[in-house]
A and B are shown apart, each in its own frame.
Chain A
Amino acid sequence: MTSQTSSSASSGTSAVRGTSAAGSTSAALEVQGLTKRYGDRAVVDDLSFTCLPGSVTGFLGPNGAGKSTTLRVLTGLARGDSGRALVGGADYRSLEHPARTIGVMLDAGALHRGRTGLETLRLAARAIGMPASRADEVLETVGLGHAGAKRVGGYSYGMRQRLGIGVALIGDPAVLVLDEPANGLDPEGIRWMRRLLRSFADAGGTVLLSSHQLREVQATVDRLVVIAGGRLVREGTLDELTSEGGTRVGALDPRALRAALDTHGIAYERRSGDELEVSLAPEDMGRLALREQIVLTSLGATDHGGLEEVFFALTGQADPDSESSAPAGPDTPTGSDATAQLASS
């Protein structure tokens, strides 16, 4: 981000840059109770989350979780049935020059294949009132200086991703929303993107990044919003989500253990043998077993392997690498519900 944007962006810019008159930090992106239905099916269901300036937020969820729909509503490409999706406190469509406030890259395939890379950026610059020289600058920034005269149809997928990110950056925005930006990028490209997003956030910008590449997300983001079935499963910092683990527990009478957990509405998953993984801290599990007079044969904190494990646990998906794990049933409370139970117990 340059000082140019600070002076030229619309009235919503102070909000997206995150500092109000009172000096407190406000959300650059805010989704409040958003619901989007197609027929009877709620693709996004009462979803709420925020993205704060100075952070890179990972937006995770399995296929069909509602990520892309949420991003399309946020960027004015679709309308929600209820709730709000705001950029700096304003609806995307109400922004005078949205691309100078929020840079968006949802689908690199949307770039016209018959146009050169440089002309694509020049056209984008002209559309949002930026000088033509900005296109040359961005072309260098995204590492396509050598391919500016080449038509997009001749670009590799990774080059198109870079150009798409370039179009998002052309307005020198304070917020970036990127859908699967690492797709097609080579290792050098992924490192470049990681540095770009990190430096963008470190300069006070806000990044919302949707991706399936969990290891890449783990290396890039500092906050996470995890959704499944259109609903928020968990929101928090990367450290919070990856450090908090469940508890592995085994009992002489597994059926009694499961009945006790069901009675208290505590989420659990079957693990190897008769062990369960429950969404309680070990000490709370121990107290529960004592109160229910259940003899435990094993008890200990789960050794989570990182974001991938957290993702599978939170979204209720079976980890393909773990044959012994069983997905949570449809009536099983989600991780966030269990955490709430834990807090109240």
Chain B
Amino acid sequence: MRPALDLRAHLDTRGSAILMTISLILIVGFAALGGLLQPLFLADSSSDINLTLIVLSLPLSLIIPVIAVLIVAGEWSDGSIQLTFLQRPGRLGVLASKVIAAVVVIAAIVAFAYALAALTTWIGGELIGEGAIFSAFGDALTTQLIGLAAILLFSLAVGIALQSTVVGLVAAIGIPFVVGTATAVAMLTGSEVLMDVVRAVDLQTAATVLASGDATAFELIPLVLLVVLPAVYGAWRWNNREVA
């Protein structure tokens, strides 16, 4: 495994430079929006880290799939996987290496985003408003991070399974959106069967329940369907797919 090599291979391209710049702008913008502007809208003129993290989760839920899919599937789409396999024929090692590289990049981005959230909340609360609220930081971390981890796992799984940037991105961003919509529809209909079916593919809700410690075996179903199975199939395909 050579995660440092894959990290460099991902970061040294023009496309990656553009993506990272856009990601940075989005994170800074949303952190500012969440932390600095809260006192202007909240009744007590405070700035709450929990709210800032919720605002930041919007860009992160887009940035994470894009980066994860690009790192694991990008070389298949642009054809450069051929050179990678010619130099490193141990394919599963390359796959593991890319997954580690993706996790490292995203962990760094999330850490940066959370640090920025704390900073803008403090500035917004202490310097602009009437005080910063960090009392719920621990709970917010758990809740938000587990949700982001679910997005990362799902994105990696579809990237590995589909081995295509475009299709992978559509699946990684589109499926959670469809599931979210289906959940709302199921609740409107009030059908227990429909709600169970949707719950079986609702990774976000399952992750939240798992984090709270109240999970049953049912919460493992989305994890198996949306993460484990695609990842296992993708690993098999990764190892056996012919490179044109």
Chain A bound to chain B: yes
Do B87 and A98 touch (CB < 8 A)? Answer: yes
Collect the chain B residues with CB atoms within 8 Å of residue A99's CB.
86-87
Contacting pair B79 A72 (CB below 8 A):
no
Assess the A107–B79 pair: CB atoms within 8 A.
Answer: yes
Q: In chain B, what residue has the closest Cβ to A77? A: B243
Q: Is the CB of B243 within 8 A of A111?
A: no
Looking at A44-52, A119-127, A322-330, the stretch in contact with chain B turns out to be A119-127
- Determine if B214 is an interface residue (Cβ-Cβ < 8 Å): no
User: How far, in whole Å, are A115 and B242 apart by their CA atoms in the complex?
Assistant: 25
Is there contact, CB below 8 Å, between A167 and B83? yes
Distance in angstroms from B115 CB to nearest chain A CB is 29
Contacts of A127 on B, CB cut-off 8 Å? 2, 5, 84, 87-88
Assess the A109–B79 pair: CB atoms within 8 A: yes
Could you tell me if A114 and B14 are in contact, using CB atoms closer than 8 angstroms?
Answer: yes
Nearest A residue to B8 via CB reads: A123
Task: Choose from B8, B12, B87, B90 the contact partner of A128 (Cβ within 8 Å).
Answer: B87
Q: What are 25 A-B residue pairs whose CB atoms fall within 8 Å in the complex?
A: A72-B242, A75-B86, A76-B89, A77-B82, A77-B86, A77-B242, A78-B242, A78-B243, A79-B240, A79-B242, A98-B86, A98-B87, A99-B86, A99-B87, A104-B86, A106-B82, A110-B80, A111-B83, A112-B13, A112-B75, A112-B80, A114-B16, A115-B13, A123-B9, A127-B2
- Chain B, residue nearest A69 (CB): B242
* B78 engages A112 (CB within 8 Å): yes
Contacts of A98 in B (CB 8 A): 86-87, 89
* Closest CB in chain A relative to B242 CB, distance in Å: 4
Chain A residues with Cβ below 8 Å from B15 are 114
Contact of B13 among A77, A109, A114 (CB under 8 A): A114
In the complex, the chain A residue whose C-beta lies closest to that of B13 is A114
User: CB-CB < 8 A to B5: which residues of A?
Assistant: 123, 126-127
Q: How far is the CB of A269 from chain B (nearest CB, A)?
A: 35
A271 within 8 A of B: no
Q: Which residues of B contact A78 (CB under 8 A)?
A: 242-243
**Which residues of chain B have C-beta atoms less than 8 A from A95's C-beta?**
89
List residues of A (123-160) whose CB comes within 8 Å of B's CBs. Answer: 123-124, 126-128, 151, 153
Among the listed B8, B75, B78, B85, which residue makes an inter-chain contact with A113, where contact means beta carbons less than 8 Å apart?
A: B78
For residues 97 through 150 of chain B, which have their beta carbon under 8 Å from a beta carbon of chain A? Answer: none
Asked whether A59 is an interface residue with its Cβ less than 8 Å from the other chain, the reply is: no
Q: Write the nearest CB–CB distance from A124 to chain B, whole angstroms.
A: 6
Q: Which of B14, B83, B90, B240 has the most CB of A within 10 A?
A: B83
Cα–Cα distance between A151 and B86 once the two chains are bound (Å): 22
CB contact list, B12-50 vs A, under 8 A: 12-16
- Enumerate chain B residues within 8 angstroms of A119, measured Cβ to Cβ: 12
The interface size bin for chain A is 20 to 34
Residues of B within 8 A of A (CB): 2, 5, 8-9, 12-16, 75, 78-90, 240, 242-244
Q: Which residues of B contact A77 (CB under 8 A)?
A: 82, 85-86, 242-243
| Chain B residue contacts of A124, Cβ below 8 A | 83, 87
In the bound complex, residues from chain A placing their C-beta under 8 Å from that of B79 are 107, 109-110
**A200 at interface, CB cutoff 8 A:** no
Interface flags for A308-321 (1: CB within 8 Å of B; 0: not) read 00000000000000
Among A76, A111, A151, point to the contact of B80 (Cβ < 8 A). A111
* CB-nearest residue of chain A to B4: A126
Confirm or deny: A268 has a beta carbon within 8 angstroms of a beta carbon on chain B. no
**Nearest 4 CB-CB pairings of A with B:** A114-B13, A114-B14, A77-B243, A110-B82
* Besides A128-B87, A167-B83, 7 new A-B residue pairs in contact (Cβ under 8 A), listed by A number: A76-B86, A79-B240, A79-B242, A109-B79, A110-B81, A112-B75, A113-B78
In the complex, are the beta carbons of A93 and B89 less than 8 A apart?
yes
Q: Mark A50-91, 1 if CB is under 8 A from B, else 0.
A: 000000000000000000000010011111000000000000
Nearest-neighbor residue (CB-CB) of A151 within chain B: B14
A240 to chain B, nearest CB (A): 32
Docked-complex contact B12 and A115, CB < 8 angstroms: yes
Q: Please state if A123 and B82 are interface contacts (CB–CB under 8 Å).
A: no
Q: Output the nearest chain B residue to A99 by Cβ-Cβ distance.
A: B87
Give min CB distance, B225 to chain A, whole Å: 30
Whose C-beta in chain A lies nearest to the C-beta of B74? A112
Chain B residues in 8 Å Cβ range of A110 = 79-83
With a cutoff of 8 Å between Cβ atoms, the chain B residues found around residue A75 in the complex are: 86
- Which A residues are in CB contact (< 8 Å) with B88? 127
Report the separation of the CA atoms of residues A114 and B2 in the bound assembly, to the nearest whole angstrom.
21
Nearest-Cβ distance from residue A291 to partner chain B, whole angstroms: 52
Residues of B within 8 A of A72 (CB): 242-244
Chain B residue nearest to A94 (CB atoms) is: B89
Closest Cβ of chain B to A334, distance in Å, is 28
Q: Mark A165-198, 1 if CB is under 8 A from B, else 0.
A: 0010000000000000000000000000000000
Q: Which residue of B lies closest to A125 (CB)?
A: B87
Q: Report how far A204 CA is from B16 CA in the complex, Å.
A: 42
Shortest Cβ gap from A185 to chain B (Å): 20
Chain B CB within 10 A, most for which of A72, A92, A111, A114: A114
Residues in A whose Cβ lies below 8 Å from that of B75: 112
A165 to B2, alpha carbons, bound, how many Å? 24
Find chain B residues with CB under 8 A from A111 CB.
Answer: 80, 83
Q: Which of A75, A112, A124, A128 has the most CB of B within 10 A?
A: A112
